[in-house]
Amino acid sequence: MLRMAACGIMGLGAALLIAALLLWTYTTSRITKIPLDLDATLISDGSGTALDPGSMNSQKYVVNKNVPLVSQQQISVESPANADVVTLQVGTSVRRSDKQKDTGLLLALVDTVTLNRKTAMAVSDETHPGGAIQKPRGFNDDTPPTNIALPHDGLAYRFPFHTEKRTYPYFDPIAQKAFDANYDGEEDVNGLTTYRFTQDVGYDADGKLADPVTYPSLYANDDDSKATATAAMWGVPGDPDEKITMSRYYAAQRTFWVDPESGTIVKEEEHANHYFARDPLKPELTLADYKVTSNEETIESQVNAARNERDRLALWSRVLPITFTASGLIALIGGLLLGSFSLRTEAALLDPGLDTADHGFFGRGEPAEEPVSGAEAETEILPTPPKDVPHEPGPPGAAPPERP
């Protein structure tokens, strides 16, 4: 029974070591993936210069300065979502918080992208564009939304697990292409060490317009990328009744604070500029020029999400493998000791003399005493009988007893 118990304990130890090895090599790579249960609302606050939507039906466009703005992103998971890919649907809106309901809405966009769950890169090819963008609708339009296929490339809304200190392509759904997000150092965000990345879209490193993007139209007749109005409506000098056509341009600067372990963007700052102009480097009418930063509730929520991901990764990649390895080694050593004890026990039961041999039960008994010679041996002293004890006569012919 002892030998069976020893074999069982050693088998358990070997199983624990194998499990630890599998956790380190196989399971860890399986869990470093974007979760399939993402559901987050990200809020950013700020201010800027913005067009008064109500003035579009007046005789002149009115632009207000220093207006409060709120940007909101709603992220959810759509199909397809499986072991390899996840599809994110992200609704983004920018509105003036000093206006009520739709009168303050400046921008609205619904972007859908399919990402590789491990690399966070968009999955796109000739037959599968890997994304779509929802065609804009009017406030009173009750028709179902229509998606326009939009090939995506680079990262989108997340960074990869174990983010590195390098440059990544990051997709801009408004410009409809990816731009570099450059590593810019480390920074503490609510007690979490993050990597800071910066992205310039149409701006140079000094924050000046350099190569703004011509706004890609989502309509066949470019209704949302060009506009024609009178000079008086535009507010430009010249003949007030002259018809002038201007193009819409877009530029942006973004800063991302990323948890390097999980790739979660815990904080984001965005400076975006939408404007109309005849010369792309000379804005003439501002649609929205604003700067917003993630609010404290959003930052705290994203930091907690990143910590949860870190804890999950640590559990499967460090805590459990180390625990299994230590337990496995202890079980193997204990099994070997128990096996050795069982062999000695069996040997002692088969030959009890082994327990009094020079090695004792565990080979370390007291040495047996050496035999003593006859001269040195102890002798037994017999008692002397008393003198007054009568002696019985012996048989006839026997010699008389000697007196002592």
- What is residue 353's predicted lDDT score, i.e. its pLDDT? 57
Q: How many CB atoms lie within 10 A of CB 91?
A: 16
Q: pTM for the whole thing?
A: 0.74
Output the six-digit token pair for 38: 């993402």
Among residues 150, 151, 153, 121, the alpha carbon closest in space to that of 133 is found at: 150
Angle, CA of 167, 175 and 230, to the nearest 5°: 145
Q: Which residues of the chain have pLDDT under 50?
A: 357, 359-365, 368, 404
Answer whether 240's CB lies under 8 Å from 230's CB.
yes
CA trace torsion 301, 302, 308, 310 (10° rounding)? -150
Output the six-digit token pair for 341: 């004890």
- What is residue 152's predicted lDDT score, i.e. its pLDDT? 92
Instruction: State how far the Cα of 18 lies from the Cα of 29, in Å rounded to an integer.
Output: 16
Kindly report the length of the chain. 404
Q: How many CB atoms lie within 10 A of CB 283?
A: 19
260 contact partners, CB below 8 Å, separation of at least 6: 162, 163, 164, 193, 194, 195
Residues facing 90 on adjacent strands? 75, 111
The per-residue DSSP string of 34-96 comes to --S--EEEEEEEEEEEEE-GGGGGSSS--EEEEEEEEEEEEEEEESS-SSSEEEEEEEEEEEE
The residue ranges of every structural domain in the chain are 27-139+146-317
Q: What is the pairing mode between strands 177-189 and 192-201?
A: antiparallel
Say which amino acid occupies 242: E
Dump pLDDT digits (tens) for 130-183.
889 887 766 566 677 788 888 999 999 999 999 999 999 999 999 999 999 999
103 contact partners, CB below 8 Å, separation of at least 6: 53, 54
- What is residue 170's predicted lDDT score, i.e. its pLDDT? 97
3-state helix, strand, coil in the chain (%, to 5): 25, 35, 40
Q: Say if residue 192 is exposed, middle or buried (CB neighbours under 10 Å; 0-12, 13-18, 19+).
A: buried
